[in-house]
Structure 1
Amino acid sequence: MTLVKFKRPFGNLLRQDFFDMDDFFDSRLWKGGMMETDFWNGKTVEPAMNIKETDDHYEIELAAPGFSKKDFNVTIEDGYLNISAEKKQTETEKDEMFTRREFHYNAFERSMQLPENVKEEAIKARYHDGILSFNVLKRAEAEKKAPKVIEVG
């Protein structure tokens, strides 16, 4: 599996001793920096994911608090594990003098390419305490044969 380093929207800004406002607006914000990231453009943010590999399986954990089991849609297609969730909630309160209406919406999509040595048919998912976890078993790999030398005649 490939692990990708998370790109923070503010970079190392918070660790600097001196804050240069001109530099911040000239380079970080406007020149292909934060304005082009998911942090600012209204897209949903991907939840954090942990991946642990053992000798016989992978353990994948996805932080997704506030959802229920029925909110998730998990598929495997063309070697990719696709995880998405959507939750909508509307609350309305009516009185003689006013109407109060609130709504909440939360959604995300996350995909990851599975290694070739997994048993796709044996993947199991579980959602508990805001963590969506997967147990992905590995296939037994065929023993590698020693290279055979062929003499050219």
Structure 2
Amino acid sequence: MAIQRFNGGFDDMMPQSFSTMLDRFFQDSMSNRERLNRFSPQVDTCETERGFEIDVSLPGLRKEDISLDFQQGRLTISGERQFNQEKNEKRYHMVESQYGSFSRSFQLPDIVDPNGIEAVFENGVLRVTVPKDERKTARQRIEVREGSNGGNANMRLDAQSQQHSNQFEEANTAIRENASKKQKAPSK
């Protein structure tokens, strides 16, 4: 077993040199700039008996900043959250909020009614309600009936069956007549 040096909890946090400290500063600065250019809002979705509900967290936006589009079963919610840099002399040390344009798409099942989609924006949350189409979700019993060819085939089978039955009856009659003639005939 090799002996390893024990690092206390503060060694990882403290830079080893001035150049390491500068590197960390610029890396953090770049990652913050990247975060400012992309925004992915948090979404909660659920299904109810009547439809689907989609809640999108959009703090700091106005309803004019949000766009909804439904095409070929896909609901797309898009918009932009802009970073407001005020002209006064604020120097930000940390910005954890996300800014930039966003687009979230949801493929919905074909049982939805696109004409009934509603969107309400209140207190920074966009709630989209997508109702189910009752005609597509209702259970219906479907009657099975004879096809046009199947009916003719059955009629032909019935006619053939009747013809065979008549022939059978005629043969039975002939056999009975022969048997009764044999019984009546005198024995020699």
- TM-score of the pair, normalised by structure 1: 0.56
CA distance in 2, matches of 1:82, 1:133: 13
1:4-153 superposed matches below 5 A: 44-88=38-82, 89-93=84-88, 105-140=99-134, 141=136, 142-145=138-141, 148=144
Aligned 8 A contact 2:54 2:128 in 1: yes
* Alpha-carbon distance change, 73 to 149 in structure 1, aligned in 2, over 3 angstroms: same
After TM superposition, give the deviation of residue 65 of structure 1 in Å.
1.1
Structure that is richer in helix per residue? 2
Shift of the 44–147 alpha-carbon distance from structure 1 to 2, 3 Å rule, reads farther
- Partners of 2:142 and 2:69 lie apart in 1 by 38
Deviation of 1:143 (Å): 2.8
Deviates more, 1:143-152 or 1:131-140: 143-152
Equivalent residue letter for 2:87: T
Secondary structure of the corresponding residue to residue 140 of structure 2? coil
Identity of aligned residues (%): 29
Distance verdict in 2 for CA 1:46–1:150, change over 3 Å: farther
1:49 is matched by which residue type in structure 2?
A: V
**Aligned CA-pair RMSD:** 3.0
Residue aligned with 1:86, SS: strand
Would you say the 8 A contact 1:90–1:101 is kept in 2?
A: no
Residue 111 of structure 1: how far off its partner (Å): 0.3
Unmatched tracts of structure 1, length 5 or more = 1-40, 94-98
Aligned-pair distance for 1:101? 9.3
Q: Equivalent residue for 2:160?
A: none
CA contact (8 A) 2:68 2:75 kept: yes
- Structure 2 CA distance for partners of 1:55 and 1:92, relative to 1, 3 Å: same
Q: CA distance change for structure 1 residues 101 and 53 in 2, over 3 Å: closer, same or farther?
A: same
Instruction: Give the TM-score taking structure 2 as reference length.
Output: 0.47
SS in structure 1 at match of 2:119: strand
Q: 1:139/1:45 Cα in 2 relative to 1: closer, same or farther (>3 Å)? A: same
1:79-111 Cα distance to aligned partner (Å, 9 max, x none): 111011113334324xxxxx7799x94321100
| Cα deviation digits, residues 46-92 of structure 1 (max 9, x gap) | 22211121111211111121111111011112211101111333432
Alignment match, 1:16: none
